[in-house]
Structure 1
């Protein structure tokens, strides 16, 4: 009986908050909103098809966080009771204990499961997470949040904590300034500031999409929307009629539906598209001021509230479990996904019960100095020291087969890092060709120009080897996601398409104004799409080839290399003892085959270089040749693998400017020769 009484008191205290006098009455509907947010994120990570826009759960969290924390802080500021020490003591007690618990467990699991290079990346991510800069780290390390390579990064999800904590470094100071303004000034400044922040985010999405997804400046307005609602509530009161609450709730649900089931991972985000979940969340919070409204009653039901109570811990635990399952190549099926979800719930409940609630309870009476020292500085130092030890020891390679380290060193030779000045992201689309970007023989003027996307860039090792064979000099000028087709642009979103078109215009003007003997075109040439898409691409390539011939140069097209299932497959075989086959059958040639055949008939002098003469043979495409892994992800070659392909092409008697009389593109996969 005594134990149950204590349990009830702790739960009631948690709901009231650390200092009940400073917190508004408990809103179960907001916990219901948290449940929608976290379930959406979990389902999206398990299978994007379940909730295509489930990633917006993070945006829902941002709005809720901005609302609740500003509601408390702004009231204190108005009553002249606000202190920075109290504010940051609260944030530490709320965020750090559960985060540190998860980080310790994930790093221990990494010591057992991960390869040396992956363990090193993991501890860097752990240090970044405790330092509240993991959003910056994962942006720099992985780039696009939706790329395939991030599915095995156990701490990727901590990027959102970085955004939130960075926001709360500057937000209290902004609140203090806002509190000094008169009513009319607030009424003007807050909406204009929000609109300006949305514009900044939209510009960011159009100019640097990957950075915009992770970084605070383009996410600022999401937390600020919740904060602005809280300021309005403090200034004007939270009164709303039942009819008004129902209208707000229904509108909020409509926007939530659009966010979760209309948006997807190909939607430009955040920017204007993030307004759907953010405004929807704000409307549902506003509706919740009237406890009898329909949406409030739904969100306040026990299942939603219970999930909402553990939502922070559930968010922390679900992704490491999914990432480790991906790493161990456990296929996420309905059954395995349900097991992961259930295990996430169990870990979240245990963390909430034995970490979140007790630490918030005991932290309410601690000073800011003691809280910072014992609950932030101490774990920060321990994680930083552990990270330093792991990094200094190169991930403890003695734990694994020596071949794992050798393979990782090869896979780590990323062409885009070796040629940073020569290969551009979309952000640097205006960058002009640089005289130092040379391959092959370096002591003379460039004979060839290499243009194309990241796949053209990953052929630089192969091109370098082939060019040296004939004492040729190649200038390298490539950009992410941009097929080298005159007058055309490619990419997801109008901004990327325009940047690519602009880059191609520069490329072909450069070809016309310089006397190159040859121009190499490389890309991930599409192999699927509508007949209209291929007709447009065919016409664009015709114009490109005519332009090259008119400039007195001869065009050379590097054909697609076949991709692999997973560049890490050979390493995983050594780590886990798996017998999984790392080879795969070639993809059908399809419409691409027809297009390149037609171009060869139209332009008999067109030269093809086919890397699949090395990669594939007798209907099989290889992830490795000898002891050399070829790839660095599911499609791109690493530099050493690219050079090996070039070396074998030279041995086969293939020259860069002559190409191959019978590229495998024009053969059936059954007649390909063995490597």
Structure 2
């Protein structure tokens, strides 16, 4: 296949879009679509390589795999090794262990599955993952593994006669899967190969269905397609469902650019653009660790540091291209197949050792280890309980045969106080019951936008069972409601749509939505206050960072003031709607309001840690150390004669 300047130029556009998006440069809110451009180009090139070899009768699947490995593995292995070596010096134990896990998954090309099981791609927690961007390499490698097998089999069976038809059907099926899966499980659709395969197959179909255009028609198609592609990378809404209908725009624009046949087209064929295209893979590899480094040091918003970070990304990309990628293509020295495999295996073994040794905690001071370990200091509770017959029952802590003194009902924030309540009872003669389900607040019918349809349906079943059992079996037992109240009615940072909805999603946090939310919340609370005392806890103060990691990092860097805190006024402002909501519902339904801020804050500040000991496991969930601050608030609820 002849080297195409236009394809190399498209690589440059794609990598610029992705890098600018990750560095949060204004105007590139849809820069993540650059990955989809890469997918189309990959499909086109791989189809060309495989089909051309099949036509000549000299296709070797093992040589194909080896050539792909030489293209991808050396630079990725060097990146993983450099990051791990630096991490042994700079990172706290939990971060080093996490990096080792992610590096190993990246080298096995399964990191997309690992990240799917962890935090979302657009979540703040993504900036704790130094190799998050390798999810796309895993998707591509999974394509490389399966695609040549499919093409070779079809070629053997049909001599290539039905290749286009079969790939068209597979592409259509993959696209339909993406449309079906995205609203039901957005992160599965984003990370997994099957709902992404249609983008690569679209590129493959360009190779199999070449167009013969006049020079004038080619120029016109090129100009329109390039304009549409650039506009899509800049103008698609940041909150667009992805992959979905919007994804068609950059994918089809890339397809028509390839169809235009402008091999040495203006703009894409320029010297600087070609240099960026040549180094695009390595620049993509190195830019994300730079983003994470700047983010963790709160420098990403500084224009000077931002510019330096972007420049450093391209500089490191060039160094990797010059001294790793290029020698690997020529199979020099260590990049011969056996040595390449040995080097990759050695780095993977190092990752495994670091993971098994939990990030080498002996490297750091005791104070760092104590702060870092608080992230795991939480009570792990079953989300559902059953009796011997398999019927759903209320979960409980303490004496199994005693009537519960109190029933806790709520989401994961409710789970953070159970350890404190358990310490407030006599476990031999008393118990505390609970209905707790993560991201499942005590509001009938509420669905969380970021959760799949299956997860929301499971939450609603849990709520229905809880309300039914509270009415039928525990109608006179006091109930304590605890939820992350400010999260559900409002929008996430950078988004306009609320984080939840009832029957139909809203596009913005409007007065109509807030009124509907308030009414449904109050109705749910009043349903529980018919025959019993109900307590509602006001929102927990939320910190701007993951507290254990922030404290441990600061101590590891030798900072004197490593504690995390926010202003009380900032907490009250951030939680103003939910505070008012709870107080109004309590007044309307006859419930009692409890304020955790009275025990987690003083008159000026709310504390995420004190004396370098975190009170939280992350930025909003209390740890077992932190929840003991609420004992004076919770203990009176256990005994009916001392209830508030």
Does the 8 Å contact 2:154/2:160 carry over to 1?
no
Matches for 1:469-484 after TM superposition, within 5 Å: 471-480=430-439, 482-484=440-442
* Residue in structure 1 matching 2:631, options 647, 656, 661: 647
Q: Secondary structure at the match of 2:308?
A: helix
Q: TM-score, normalised by structure 1?
A: 0.82
State how far apart, in whole Å, the 2-side matches of 1:532 and 1:611 are: 29
Does the 8 Å contact 2:228/2:250 carry over to 1?
no
Q: Give the structure 1 partner of residue 143 of structure 2.
A: 167
Which stretch shifts more, 245-254 or 493-502? 493-502
Does the 8 Å contact 1:256/1:281 carry over to 2?
no
**Which deviations, in whole Å up to 9, do the C-alpha atoms of 1:535-563 show, x marking residues without a partner?**
1122102211232234x444332221001
* Residue in structure 2 matching 1:208, options 185, 194, 197: 185
**Which deviations, in whole Å up to 9, do the C-alpha atoms of 1:461-503 show, x marking residues without a partner?**
34444566993431333132x4321233332489489646565
Q: Give the structure 2 partner of residue 575 of structure 1.
A: 556
Change (3 A) 1:493 1:442: closer
Q: Does 1:313 align with 2:282?
A: yes
Q: Give the structure 2 partner of residue 547 of structure 1.
A: 527
Does the 8 Å contact 2:411/2:483 carry over to 1?
yes
State how far apart, in whole Å, the 2-side matches of 1:460 and 1:220 are: 45
Which stretch shifts more, 488-497 or 395-404? 488-497
Q: TM-score, normalised by structure 2?
A: 0.86
State how far apart, in whole Å, the 2-side matches of 1:64 and 1:382 are: 32
* Residue in structure 2 matching 1:231, options 197, 208, 232: 208
* Residue in structure 2 matching 1:373, options 335, 338, 344: 338
- What is the Cα-based RMSD across aligned positions, in Å? 3.1
Shift of 1:421: 4.1
Shift of 1:392: 4.0
Q: Give the structure 2 partner of residue 638 of structure 1.
A: 623
Which stretch shifts more, 485-494 or 202-211? 485-494
Q: Give the structure 2 partner of residue 515 of structure 1.
A: 474
Q: Secondary structure at the match of 1:577?
A: coil
Change (3 A) 1:421 1:505: closer
State how far apart, in whole Å, the 1-side matches of 2:237 and 2:123 are: 17
State how far apart, in whole Å, the 1-side matches of 2:563 and 2:93 are: 23
State how far apart, in whole Å, the 2-side matches of 1:62 and 1:660 are: 62
Shift of 1:520: 3.5
Matches for 1:5-154 after TM superposition, within 5 Å: 24-47=1-24, 49-140=26-117, 142-154=118-130
* Residue in structure 1 matching 2:327, options 351, 355, 358: 358
Which stretch shifts more, 578-587 or 121-130? 578-587
State how far apart, in whole Å, the 2-side matches of 1:238 and 1:99 are: 39
Structure 1: 5+ residue runs without aligned partners? 1-23, 424-431, 662-675
State how far apart, in whole Å, the 2-side matches of 1:411 and 1:655 are: 28
State how far apart, in whole Å, the 1-side matches of 2:256 and 2:642 are: 62
Does the 8 Å contact 1:240/1:290 carry over to 2?
no
Q: Secondary structure at the match of 1:419?
A: coil
Does the 8 Å contact 2:565/2:607 carry over to 1?
yes
Task: Count how many residue pairs are aligned between Structure 1 and Structure 2.
Answer: 609
Q: Does 1:221 align with 2:207?
A: no
Q: Secondary structure at the match of 2:536?
A: strand
Q: Give the structure 2 partner of residue 561 of structure 1.
A: 540
State how far apart, in whole Å, the 1-side matches of 2:436 and 2:208 are: 51
Does the 8 Å contact 1:440/1:465 carry over to 2?
no
**Which deviations, in whole Å up to 9, do the C-alpha atoms of 1:270-325 show, x marking residues without a partner?**
244433322222222222x1347xxx322222222111110000011111122123
Change (3 A) 1:632 1:53: farther
Q: Give the structure 1 partner of residue 414 of structure 2.
A: 456
Structure 2: 5+ residue runs without aligned partners? 491-508
Matches for 1:259-658 after TM superposition, within 5 Å: 259-264=233-238, 266-287=239-260, 289-291=261-263, 296-362=265-331, 371-375=336-340, 377-414=341-378, 418-419=380-381, 421-422=383-384, 434-435=392-393, 437-444=395-402, 449-466=407-424, 471-480=430-439, 482-492=440-450, 495=453, 499=457, 504-516=463-475, 517-526=477-486, 529-550=509-530, 552-566=531-545, 567=547, 568-578=549-559, 579=561, 582-586=564-568, 587=571, 588=573, 589-604=575-590, 606-625=591-610, 628-642=613-627, 644-650=628-634, 653=636
Change (3 A) 1:496 1:530: farther
Does the 8 Å contact 2:403/2:430 carry over to 1?
no
Change (3 A) 1:166 1:113: same
